[in-house]
């Protein structure tokens, strides 16, 4: 899975959506209640209500089977590449942080090709985005 997220303290999610002309795959506002999961493997040790600490606008591929992370990064990049000016303006106006996240689940010891092409690095640098990798080894 790959995703791009714009996060900040508080900002109007609809302005980001309208400015970029892209519907996010997920978004939430600072203070929203974090819903409890129905996953039986995740057990909450507290009955306390948890709330979001930031506002977030995310564009994600969701999990996909792949042997090359570029297959997930490329569609995200293609959606954003022509919107550099808009992204920079949003970042400045709302003090946003930008992040590209690549999430890799390794199953059966089959690892994907993991690399960043120059145009990905250049674009991330241009909009001052960070790039993170999250790796899960499933047995």
**Tens-place pLDDT, residues 69-123:** 899 999 999 999 999 999 999 999 999 999 999 998 888 777 777 889 999 999 9
Long-range contacts of 26-31 (CB under 8 A, 24+ apart): 26/56, 26/58, 26/60, 27/56, 27/57, 27/58, 28/52, 28/55, 28/56, 29/55, 30/54, 30/55
Per-residue pLDDT, 37? 63
95 is a domain residue: yes
65 is a domain residue: yes
45 is a domain residue: no
Structural domain count of the chain: 1
**Does 128 have pLDDT greater than 80?**
yes
121 is a domain residue: yes
16 is a domain residue: yes
**Does 44 have pLDDT greater than 90?**
no
Choice between 34 and 107, residue whose per-residue pLDDT is larger: 34
What number is the average pLDDT over the span 10-31? 97
Q: Return the percentage of the chain with pLDDT > 70, whole number.
A: 92
């Amino acid at each position: 899975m790959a995703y791009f997220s714009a996060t900040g303290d508080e900002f109007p999610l609809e302005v980001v959506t309208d400015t970029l002309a892209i519907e996010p795959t997920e978004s939430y506002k600072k203070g929203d209640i974090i819903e409890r999961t129905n996953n039986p493997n995740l057990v909450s040790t507290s009955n306390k209500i948890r709330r979001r600490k930031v506002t977030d606008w995310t564009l994600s591929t969701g999990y996909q089977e792949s042997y090359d992370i570029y297959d997930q990064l490329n569609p995200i990049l293609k959606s954003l590449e022509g919107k550099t000016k808009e992204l920079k303006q949003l970042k400045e106006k709302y003090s946003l942080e930008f992040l590209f996240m690549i999430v890799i689940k390794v199953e059966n010891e089959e690892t994907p090709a993991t690399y960043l092409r120059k145009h990905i690095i250049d674009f991330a640098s241009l909009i001052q985005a960070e790039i993170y990798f999250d790796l899960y080894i499933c047995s």
